């Protein structure tokens, strides 16, 4: 299994247990190795490694630690969703936020990452897992994965619902849709001293304005996470073990399988919020 954040194991960040921001992850923005090379060219021109992998290909060039060996009996068409969705979502809960047993959690956005956040909150023992997404089918999928309460953002107020469920606001809010506009509602639904975790990746031109004084008064915190704070060499085997034990549902995240010739249709599904994850079968 490939990871876009291959830990080198020796840099400033890796030795402090922050492998997801290892120097190798510069490739997420530059699409190159740290030295500026890619190892790839075509017709004499550089070919860049999209998102540090360039993985829509039969072969890829990656750091040795970027390829994590998994047991041969683990089906690749199921394990593939661990690569980003599960590592990011479950990791945001367990690694970044450190959600404790009995906590209250709100998840904004129920794509593959948001639904993985739901599963992470269940694994952590959260008492209430509230989900918000405009797509009713996704809210129903979240129910089967551990969600306890449901919000239709087009018909309900997040802050009012937060007070109904908790009396004070949520301990943790996870923004998993990659929409800066959701941060305002997430902060309002958060209790004093709670943590808002930015999991989704918003477009580069989206901005959000906040009042620093409000944080001083309320003690609310904003956390960010890259790939769920994962050390893929540790976390990929851990999530496979949880899947084997029946505690982590990977299959429910896969709603369609397509041949490589239909990869663009799979991306259209993603843009249109149809289904959760499409698996591309190149066999």
Per-residue pLDDT of the chain (283 residues; tens, 9 = 90+): 999 999 999 999 999 999 999 999 999 999 999 999 999 999 999 999 999 998 777 788 999 999 999 999 999 999 999 999 999 999 999 999 999 999 999 999 999 999 999 999 999 999 999 999 999 999 999 999 999 999 999 899 999 999 999 999 999 999 999 998 899 999 999 999 999 999 998 888 888 888 888 899 999 999 999 999 999 999 999 999 999 999 999 999 999 999 989 999 999 998 888 899 999 888 7
Beta bridge partners of 106: 130, 173
- Asked whether residue 107 is domain-assigned, the answer is yes
Predicted local distance difference test score (pLDDT) of residue 59: 85
CA-wise closest residue to 95 among 28, 196, 170, 17: 17
Tokens representing residue 52 in the block:
């540090």
Same domain, 162 and 60: no
Q: Which helix (H) or strand (E) holds 105?
A: strand 104-108
d(CA 158, CA 79): 34
Do 106 and 220 share a structural domain? yes
Residue 91 and residue 214 in one domain:
yes
Question: Does 153 lie in the same domain as 92?
Answer: yes
Do 185 and 106 belong to one domain? yes
What's 184's domain CATH number?
Answer: 3.40.50.720
Is the residue at 4 inside a domain? Answer: no
Q: What is the dihedral of CA 54, 229, 142, 249, to 10 degrees?
A: 70
Alpha-helical (H) ranges within the chain are 27-30, 76-79, 85-91, 112-124, 136-145, 158-166, 182-188, 212-218, 232-244, 263-271
- Do the domain assignments include residue 238? no
- Are 73 and 114 within one domain? no
Quote the domain boundaries for residue 256: 14-82+250-281
The β-bridge relationship of strands 41-42 and 45-46 is antiparallel
pTM reported for the whole predicted model: 0.95
Q: Based on the domain organization, do 269 and 199 belong to the same domain?
A: no
User: Is the same domain home to 217 and 273?
Assistant: no
Is 234 part of a structural domain of the chain? no
What is the per-residue pLDDT for 75? 94
With respect to residue 243, please indicate whether it lies within any of the assigned structural domains: no
- List the alpha helices (DSSP H) in 43-103: 76-79, 85-91
When divided into structural domains, the chain yields a total of 2
The CA-based angle 98-136-149, given to 5 degrees, is 45
């Amino acid at each position: 299994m490939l990871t876009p954040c291959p830990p080198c194991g020796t840099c400033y960040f890796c030795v402090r247990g922050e492998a997801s921001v290892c120097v190798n992850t510069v490739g997420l923005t530059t699409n190159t190795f740290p030295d500026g090379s890619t190892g790839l060219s075509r017709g004499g021109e550089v070919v860049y490694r999209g998102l540090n992998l360039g993985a829509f290909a039969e072969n890829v060039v990656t750091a040795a630690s970027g390829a994590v060996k998994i047991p041969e009996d683990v089906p690749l068409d199921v394990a593939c969703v661990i690569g980003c969705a599960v590592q990011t979502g479950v990791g945001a809960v367990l690694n970044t936020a450190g959600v404790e047993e009995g906590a209250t959690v709100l998840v904004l956005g129920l794509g593959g990452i948001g639904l993985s956040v739901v599963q992470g909150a269940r694994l952590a023992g959260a008492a209430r897992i509230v989900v918000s997404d405009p797509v009713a089918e996704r809210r129903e999928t979240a129910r089967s994965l551990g969600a306890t309460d449901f919000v239709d953002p087009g018909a309900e107020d997040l802050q009012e619902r937060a007070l109904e469920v908790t009396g004070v606001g949520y301990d943790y809010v996870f923004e998993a849709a990659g929409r800066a506009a959701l941060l305002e509602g997430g902060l309002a639904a958060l209790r004093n001293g709670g943590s808002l975790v930015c999991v989704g990746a918003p477009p580069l031109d989206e901005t959000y304005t906040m009042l620093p004084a409000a944080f001083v008064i309320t003690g609310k915190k904003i956390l960010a996470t890259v790939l769920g704070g994962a050390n893929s060499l540790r976390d990929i085997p851990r999530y496979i073990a949880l899947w084997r034990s029946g505690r982590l549902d990977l299959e429910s995240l896969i709603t369609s399988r397509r041949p490589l010739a239909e990869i663009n249709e799979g991306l259209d599904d993603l843009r249109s919020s149809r289904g959760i994850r499409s698996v591309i079968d190149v066999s």
